[in-house]
Amino acid sequence: MLWFRNRRTERARPNTFRPRVEALDDRCVPSASSVLASNGLNQVYVDANSDLVLVSPNGQQTALYDGSVRTAQGFRAADGALGIDVVFTDGSAIHYDPSAGGVLTLSNTFFGGNILDLSTAYSASGRVRIDVLVANSGSPSTALGQTGHVMEFTTSGGLQSLALGTHVRWVSAYQDTAGNTGIAIGQELGSSEFLAQKADTVTGLTTLYDGLNDASAAITGYTQSVSSFAAGNQEVVTDLTFNSDTSLSSAVTGTYALQFTAGTAAFSGTGLGVTLVGTSGDVKPGG
């Protein structure tokens, strides 16, 4: 986790491989994630009304919760089935893992404070990683500007507090293409700077966004799912959400519009005033 203390921003060398990029339906959403589970591609998103919606591989939409969800992140469970982490606006959460006993309900004091974000990822060996963002103070809401500190549970080390400070806005555990787990976070640096980064064994430390706190291009979430850990036979799906306005007191809104198939975590494309560049995935305002 010390990777996040290093703020190098070197650009990766150009990559001649161009993955297939597909535009998904644009939606104004506080959070979104796509999961390549054993039944195909599933999409989980929270809409502008704080409703949680699941889109199955055949396109069927199912409302799972109405009007009470802050964030939700799907994940591929150890048995390949779809799992979902749901955080509610009252600071409680549900961790649904079909490979580990089903539903675990977490109160708003389970980790010593209100939960702001929750995510899970499994490695190829079946090791689980669960990252929890716990509010520093106050009750959670759908506002963008709330911050907290990250707690992590792993099968090898138990529950621990990560040394990422107390100004983290969102956190995401994800799968990398080498069969390990990675972590992405968005955090405030000082009064005006916001930094979003991800770190895994394939790409190392990558800067996703470095700019103004309240810029409309600021990233509000990152997720990644891998269909298979077999080299040369992988489909990788990545979702990015962006702040759609310049008010930190407003709801977290954005869109997800990137889906690609590649043997490596490279992606390109533009949208919502941002440009994704090369294999490093750097996001720069403009474009």
- Structural domain contains residue 62: yes
What residues make up the domain containing 147? Answer: 26-285
What pLDDT, on a 0 to 100 scale, did the predictor assign at position 29? 62
Query: Tokens representing 196?
Result: 């979003």
- Structural domain contains residue 242: yes
What pLDDT, on a 0 to 100 scale, did the predictor assign at position 272? 33
- Predicted confidence pLDDT, tens digits, the chain (287 residues): 444 543 433 333 333 333 333 334 444 566 788 899 999 989 888 887 888 989 899 989 899 998 889 889 999 999 999 999 999 988 999 999 999 888 999 998 888 889 999 999 999 999 999 999 999 876 666 566 788 999 998 776 677 888 888 899 999 999 998 889 999 999 999 888 999 999 999 989 999 889 888 777 788 888 899 887 766 677 888 888 877 666 666 555 554 444 444 443 333 333 333 333 333 333 333 22
CATH of the domain at 55: 2.115.10
- Structural domain contains residue 20: no
- Structural domain contains residue 13: no
Query: Tokens representing 130?
Result: 């669960």
What's the rounded Cα separation, in Å, for the pair 276 and 252? 21
Identity at 255, one-letter amino acid code: T
- Structural domain contains residue 278: yes
- Structural domain contains residue 17: no
Number of independent structural domains in the chain: 1
Of 111, 122, 183, nearest to 148 (Cα)? 111
Identity at 223, one-letter amino acid code: T
What's the rounded Cα separation, in Å, for the pair 268 and 284? 12
Answer positive or negative: Cα dihedral of 89, 107, 56, 60.
negative
Q: pTM of the predicted model, to two decimals? A: 0.79
Length in residues, the chain: 287
- Structural domain contains residue 149: yes
- Structural domain contains residue 7: no
